[in-house]
Amino acid sequence: MKAYIFPGQGAQFTGMGLDLYEGSPIAQELFEKANSILGFSITDVMFEGTAEELKQTKVTQPAIFLHSVILAKVLGDDFKPEMVAGHSLGELSALVANGALSFEDGLKLVSKRAQAMQKACEAQESTMAAVLGLEDNVVEEVCASIDGIVVAANYNCPGQLVISGEVAAINKACEILKEKGARRALVLPVGGAFHSPLMEPAREELAKAIEETTFNEPTCPVYQNVVAKAVTSPEEIKTNLIAQLTGPVRWTQCIQAMIADGGTEFVEVGPGKVLQGLMRKIDRNVTASGAAIATE
């Protein structure tokens, strides 16, 4: 079975999407529509902006979403997903790709999500850290033992887990994790504690927007971050999407569930190759590639 996977924040680069814009009238139309929905020229930032400008959450999230979703549209008849999943923000790209959300509604939710997360980040100093070379349960136990908010946030692949929380709690956790044998416990250059209880104000704000948005029956199952299993019910999709801002991204478990359900060929749709790299660490027996558009 063919599975399509969609990246999250961190995959952005200057010039992203320009080849799509220049090579496809469909892409051009969708990018222009996005500029008008967002109320600013995101194409200017994507095509010509500096790395610094692209790093702003309110730009990064819609930029990655647009690159992924428009690339899927440009693939045309070649794009026939039998299962989809997205890493964090990428879940919204996946939901547009499988028809659960319209392009316009997906973009509006991404923009709302980005702004709500930005606000939550500014309200309280917080951060994330990557932990390499330890079993998940060891990291979870250390997080649970610390006074303050620190939780396992992104289960990226075996031996790579990102933790999220208050700055002091993260620093303390990193110290203990190194003592426990972590190869690395490295604080990341992010502006906030994504996928932790500190995102509760953002979750509440996004929940309202999600409840007011129409979700359709998807054309194929989506393997959602918080439950790591196939979901097809629009109501369940909404519930899981709301829970995602404060809940963990169980990426390893999502991919394992997709493979168990028959996924053999995985195609990453969007900027970068981050998910292809993680795929190789999760299971080397399945193929992972990037989506390519046919050029004349």
Q: Tell me how far CA of residue 250 lies from CA of 74, 102, 111, 165, 216, in angstroms.
A: 29, 25, 23, 17, 24
* Cα 114-120-121 angle, rounded to 5 deg: 85
Does the active-site annotation cover 67?
no
Does the active-site annotation cover 195?
yes
Amino acid in position 136:
D
* Rounded Cα–Cα distance for residues 2 and 258 (Å): 10
User: Which of the residues 24, 87, 126, 195 is marked catalytic?
Assistant: 195
202: closest CA among 153, 170, 143, 244?
Answer: 244
* Rounded Cα–Cα distance for residues 60 and 57 (Å): 5
Report the phi/psi class of residue 89: left, alpha or beta, with left for phi > 0 and alpha for psi in -120 to 50: alpha
Structure-token pair, residue 185: 């416990």
Torsion over CA: 287, 288, 294, 295 (sign): negative
User: Which of the residues 68, 88, 126, 196 is marked catalytic?
Assistant: 88
Query: How many other β-carbons are positioned within 10 Å of the β-carbon of residue 145?
Result: 11
* Rounded Cα–Cα distance for residues 81 and 266 (Å): 10
Active site residues: 88, 195
